[in-house]
Structure 1
Amino acid sequence: MPVDVMHRFQLGDTGIHGVFVQMESSWAAMRAHVDYPEPVAGLLGTTVAAAALFTGLVKFEGKLSIQLRGTGDLRLLFAEATHAGTVRGIARWEGGPPRSLADAGDDAQLAITIENAQRQTRQQGLVAVDGEHLAAALEQYFERSEQLPTRIVLAAGGGRCAGLLLQRAPAEGGHAASGDADAWNRAGHLLSTLRDEELLGLSVETVLTRLFHEEGVRLQAGRALEFACSCSAERVAGVLRSLGEEESRAAAGPEGVVEVTCEFCGHAYRFDAVDVAAMFAGDGVMSGSGTRQ
């Protein structure tokens, strides 16, 4: 069974649904061109797993991102997942490798953004980061912004990242979504027994059977996940245009070439003097740009 996969599931008739995510090759591809220290890789891996989990909660065509910005040693965590199953992510830090969200500083903020390409809409929710763990911050986001009780477990290590999410359906007409009033508490207790090594190393069937076999798990077909980057010569040229011609030319190296490397995939785009001139003359983008280094 493929390791890079996202599954949706339901727990019988309890009104509880969930999402399971596990990544290996896509996670390795994200780290292939950046030597992340192990603590930073762990923080980024859990963020990527969370973004992929959230795509299992909403029906949309577009992309969903989780972004944390801080002023401490941890400056940025960014993870993006699309409805098509592609994922990417980056992390930035300064000083010693940060080990938790607390290293982002007291003013750190977490943003969850959904960009719906079909409807041309953009929705964003913000939550303050007042703890060490991403899962707890995201649970608070759902509780405060969506009024949806949610439990999240995230893990990264051993070349994999993974996540499991449970969410209780909203009550209808003042009545609980299930006749089993204790179902949510019971599911949360069972989820708390899940160990990181189980989430990372066992199949979705094994994990869900071990946790919820008495609840009647209904597992949906999985969606494959893979690393992919949306960078292009045209997008990079757009960034250079926004800087202006003078600043773009000033960024050229000794050979008169502007080189921009994508932080997500390591692809290097090269623009010579002719390219830059054409860019600002409105003659289109550059023949020969975007060679990989």
Structure 2
Amino acid sequence: MSDFDNLHRFLFTQANVRGELVRLNDSLKNIVHSYEYPVQIQQLLCEMAAATSLLTATLKFEGEIGLQVQSKGPVSYAVVNATHNQTLRGVARWDESLTTLPENFSELLTDAVLVITITPDEGERYQGVVALDKPSLAECIEGYFQQSEQLATKVQLMTDLQDAESAKAAGVLLQVLPAQASATDVSSANDFEHITKLTETLKQEEMFSLSVEEILYRLYHQEEVEMFPPKTVSFACTCSKERSAEALRHVEKAELNSIIEEEGAVKMNCQYCHVEYRFDSIDVEAIHNGNYGGSATNQ
């Protein structure tokens, strides 16, 4: 599926509207199958991954964006992070005592919020929070843009989980260009509504079976559309032994040595990629003396 795991950006040159389309397959495997997730959580993570990829393309700087769900429902926590280089990682936590989970989005995530965190490599972190009080994740993200940036935004998210070993997700984002976002700009508002209506006619089977060029032609063949080179989307984890060592620097040395005495090493596991990092007493001494260089070897 060479046409998958790519983010495509395009521009309606006569309408002051920009668009993005992403389809994921291989990049989802280490997210969806990192745990034995129920299908409802697989679908949630697939939608979050597609949405996060779309939102990452809105960044005007190098850094990371994260979508995090916090809920008092069956799914307590879910997060997907992506970098400006379109690398994704994600994880979810749910009430594993439940034998079945609700199919409905609102019942799966009750009394929930969506936290969108933007972390530039240089500069201050920004965080926005929106209630998950609409029937779908896509509608909640639309509400976030309307609430925080007053930008007319349309989001469509789709998943295909028919093949248990090969989850697929896709998303489309349309947005009025910021310079044309004023409510007084009637022409831009009408153009955006027209393009949105065209996009809503896209069927799931078309999204996952046609090429991107065929999809855009099918939807917008009467519009002037400029396409940009696609960006590859992949799974990648940002964990490292050095980052784990930095976390241990804030733990008392005596406590770490006690763990080493009992278990032979301090072990830290990445919740995203499951790599295990081990630290012995020599490592602990170096960490607390500020001399830890960190081996690149994962143990």
TM-score (norm 2): 0.87
Deviation at 1:87, TM superposition (A): 1.2
Aligned residue identity for 2:171: G
CA distance, structure 1, for counterparts of residue 10 and residue 51 of structure 2: 16
Deviation at 1:122, TM superposition (A): 1.2
For 2:198, which of 190, 193, 208 is the aligned residue? Answer: 190
Which residue of the partner structure matches residue 80 of structure 2? 79
Mapping of residues 98-109 of structure 1, within 5 Å = 99=103, 100-106=105-111, 108-109=112-113
Cα 1:81–1:179 change in 2 (3 A) is: same
Deviation at 1:40, TM superposition (A): 0.6
SS at match of 2:148: helix
For 2:116, which of 105, 112, 115 is the aligned residue? Answer: 112
CA contact (8 A) 2:47 2:159 kept: yes
Mapping of residues 268-287 of structure 1, within 5 Å = 268-285=276-293, 287=295
Which residue of the partner structure matches residue 134 of structure 1? 137
SS at match of 1:9: strand
Deviation at 1:21, TM superposition (A): 0.8
Cα 1:253–1:39 change in 2 (3 A) is: farther
Cα 1:263–1:214 change in 2 (3 A) is: same
Mapping of residues 24-173 of structure 1, within 5 Å = 24-95=25-96, 96=98, 97=101, 99=103, 100-106=105-111, 108-117=112-121, 119-158=122-161, 159-170=167-178, 171=180
Which residue of the partner structure matches residue 22 of structure 2? 21
> Which is further off, 3-12 or 189-198?
189-198
Deviation at 1:143, TM superposition (A): 0.7
Deviation at 1:232, TM superposition (A): 0.4
CA distance, structure 2, for counterparts of residue 251 and residue 101 of structure 1: 43
Mapping of residues 224-239 of structure 1, within 5 Å = 224-239=232-247
Aligned residue identity for 1:273: S
Cα 1:143–1:261 change in 2 (3 A) is: same
SS at match of 1:190: helix
TM-score (norm 1): 0.89
CA distance, structure 2, for counterparts of residue 200 and residue 150 of structure 1: 23
Deviation at 1:249, TM superposition (A): 4.4
CA distance, structure 2, for counterparts of residue 212 and residue 168 of structure 1: 16
CA offsets 1:37-73 (integer angstroms, 9 cap, x no match): 2111110111111111012223111111111112221
SS at match of 2:138: helix
Which residue of the partner structure matches residue 265 of structure 2? 257
Aligned Cα root-mean-square deviation (Å): 2.4
Deviation at 1:268, TM superposition (A): 0.9
Deviation at 1:151, TM superposition (A): 0.6
Deviation at 1:270, TM superposition (A): 1.3
Deviation at 1:172, TM superposition (A): 7.0
Which residue of the partner structure matches residue 12 of structure 1? 13
Gaps of 5+ in 1: none
Deviation at 1:190, TM superposition (A): 1.8
Aligned residue identity for 1:61: E
Gaps of 5+ in 2: 162-166
